């Protein structure tokens, strides 16, 4: 998808903007377990995918057919996630269908008439105890004090206007502020304390750059939602697009056989991705590319399939390093050989970690020391 600046695309907007966007989804992820969730204005679907790791079901909706097509092509194997085209002012769903609606950095992109209609539609499709979570820039900070006018924003909100708008349909509105700062953290080594003191310079704005509202008509519905948090980040989003190519001894791998899937690594950097196969392919090998355009450490620990696996070979790794093979190129690849003519699925499990600049520097230093030692011996 071409980057225009209208919607956030991971790896295209810069690390700071990415941190702002991802923090919102990370903050709510543990609160939406076992919920049916609607991601309104889902854009490129990264947030829908992140929520699908916790929610029972997630539907992403966007007015852009290009966005919906892109999402369906990139998140094909997540069974509890789907994307459809639709408009905020006429949500194509039954009454009381969702436990939670998420709409992050979208409402300012439409005019006041659509804003009003969306709020009514959100109340309609939410269950009586449902929750609406909405974020939008604080016009006072984002626009007025910065002097920057986003050309894609049609109708922004001041804080009081935002509260009044939400109160039209929801009795209970709880507000959070979000801003990105240079932060130094001191924490308990055993991580026993859940709360920390906020120490800030007097010149920092009390209001945040962004406003996040949690809304409902039942006070008890808000109990699970506490978004107060600090998001520590030092690299890009931990969701990457992996690819699988099929082939045989007579034919090289081609784009025609390519399947894409989102690869999301857990806290311990383990991953599991599942590819659906047609069951009647002429195939005795696959090429698995865990990521593109990144230096990484990756290893395949296990493959589950109704075909037969004979061998797994890293095709262009530099060496085995720590917990996996180190790929110091922009296109890491594994080759999986076997018999897959009638196979219907291929699940790949393993270890995956994108190397940070610090880790790359440490590795290069280690290699340099080894070269010096070898020269002197």
| Residues 272-306: tens digit of each pLDDT | 888 888 766 788 999 999 987 788 899 999 999 99
Render pLDDT for 211-253 as a digit per residue (tens, 0 to 9).
999 999 999 999 989 888 877 765 555 567 788 999 888 878 8
Tell me the pLDDT band of 258, cut-offs 50, 70 and 90.
confident
Render pLDDT for 2-30 as a digit per residue (tens, 0 to 9).
555 555 555 555 567 777 878 899 899 88
* Closest alpha carbon to 10 in 210, 238, 212: 238
* Closest alpha carbon to 312 in 285, 291, 272: 285
Q: What confidence score (pLDDT) does residue 301 get? A: 96
Q: What confidence score (pLDDT) does residue 179 get? A: 83
Given a cut of 70, whether residue 121 has pLDDT beyond it is yes
| Alpha-carbon span 266 to 352, nearest angstrom | 9
Q: What confidence score (pLDDT) does residue 238 get? A: 53
Given a cut of 90, whether residue 129 has pLDDT beyond it is yes
Q: What confidence score (pLDDT) does residue 199 get? A: 73
- Two structure tokens written together for 2: 């071409």
- Two structure tokens written together for 325: 């093979």
| H/E element, 47 | helix 46-52
| Alpha-carbon span 237 to 219, nearest angstrom | 34
Q: What confidence score (pLDDT) does residue 191 get? A: 62
| H/E element, 272 | strand 270-276
Tell me the pLDDT band of 78, cut-offs 50, 70 and 90.
low
Secondary structure string (H, E, C) spanning 189-229:
CCCCCCCCCCCCCCCCCCCCCEEEEEEECCHHHHCCCCCCC
Helix (DSSP H) and strand (DSSP E) numbers for the chain: 7, 17
Given a cut of 60, whether residue 198 has pLDDT beyond it is yes
Residue 180 · residue 16 · CB < 8 Å = yes
Highest mean pLDDT among 163-172, 182-191, 201-210: 163-172
What pTM was estimated for this model as a whole?
0.70
| Alpha-carbon span 36 to 33, nearest angstrom | 9
Q: What confidence score (pLDDT) does residue 350 get? A: 95
**Lowest pLDDT segment from 110-124, 170-184, 355-369:** 355-369
Residue owning tokens 């295209």: 12
Render pLDDT for 85-101 as a digit per residue (tens, 0 to 9).
999 999 999 999 999 99
Residue 178 CA: distances (Å) to CA of 20, 73, 99, 163:
8, 32, 24, 16
Tell me the pLDDT band of 77, cut-offs 50, 70 and 90.
low
% residues pLDDT > 70 (the chain): 89
For the sheet containing 239-247, what is the strand order? Answer: 259-264, 239-247, 285-289, 334-339, 308-314
- Tell me the CA end-to-end span of the chain in Å, nearest whole number: 53
| Alpha-carbon span 200 to 33, nearest angstrom | 34
Q: What count of residues does the chain have? A: 377
Q: What confidence score (pLDDT) does residue 291 get? A: 87
pLDDT average, residue stretch 111-120: 97
Q: What confidence score (pLDDT) does residue 281 get? A: 74
Where do the domains of the chain lie, and which CATH numbers do they carry?
15-189+196-222 (3.40.50.150), 239-357 (2.60.40)
Tell me the pLDDT band of 102, cut-offs 50, 70 and 90.
very high
Q: Cα angle vertex 76, ends 70, 81, to 5°?
A: 95
Name the residue with higher pLDDT: 188 or 177.
177
* Closest alpha carbon to 100 in 211, 212, 225, 7: 225
For strands 126-137 and 210-216, give the pairing: antiparallel
């Amino acid at each position: 998808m071409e980057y225009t600046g209208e919607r956030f695309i991971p790896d295209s907007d810069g690390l700071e903007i990415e941190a702002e966007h991802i923090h919102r989804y990370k903050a709510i992820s543990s609160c939406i377990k076992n919920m049916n969730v609607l991601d309104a204005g889902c854009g490129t679907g990264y947030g829908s995918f992140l929520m699908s790791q916790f929610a029972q079901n997630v539907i992403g909706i966007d007015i852009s057919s290009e966005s919906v097509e892109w999402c369906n092509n990139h998140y094909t194997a997540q069974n509890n996630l789907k994307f459809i085209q639709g408009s905020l002012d006429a949500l194509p769903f039954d009454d009381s269908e969702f436990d939670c609606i998420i709409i992050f950095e979208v409402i300012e992109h439409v005019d006041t008439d659509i804003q009003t209609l969306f709020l009514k539609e959100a109340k309609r499709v939410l269950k009586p105890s449902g929750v609406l979570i909405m974020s939008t820039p604080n016009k006072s900070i984002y626009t007025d004090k910065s002097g920057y006018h986003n050309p894609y924003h049609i109708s922004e909100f001041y804080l009081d206007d935002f509260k009044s708008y939400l109160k039209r349909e929801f009795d209970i509105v709880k507000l959070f502020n979000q801003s990105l700062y240079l932060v130094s953290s001191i924490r308990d080594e055993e991580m026993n304390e859940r709360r920390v003191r906020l120490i800030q310079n007097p010149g920092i704005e009390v209001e945040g750059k962004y406003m996040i509202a949690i809304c409902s008509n039942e006070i008890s519905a808000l109990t699970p939602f506490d978004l107060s948090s600090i998001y520590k980040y030092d690299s890009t989003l931990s969701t990457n697009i992996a690819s699988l190519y099929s082939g045989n001894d007579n034919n090289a791998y081609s784009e025609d056989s390519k399947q894409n899937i989102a690869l999301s690594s857990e806290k311990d950097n383990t991953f599991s991705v599942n590819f659906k196969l047609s069951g009647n392919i002429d195939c005795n090998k696959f090429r698995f590319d865990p990521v593109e355009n990144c230096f990484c450490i990756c290893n395949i620990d296990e493959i589950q399939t109704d075909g037969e696996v004979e061998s797994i070979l890293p095709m262009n790794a530099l060496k085995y390093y720590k917990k996996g093979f180190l790929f110091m190129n922009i296109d890491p690849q594994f080759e999986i050989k076997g018999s897959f003519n009638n196979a219907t699925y291929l699940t790949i499990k393993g270890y995956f970690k994108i190397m940070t600049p610090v880790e790359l520097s440490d590795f290069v230093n280690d290699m340099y020391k080894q070269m010096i030692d070898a020269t002197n011996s």
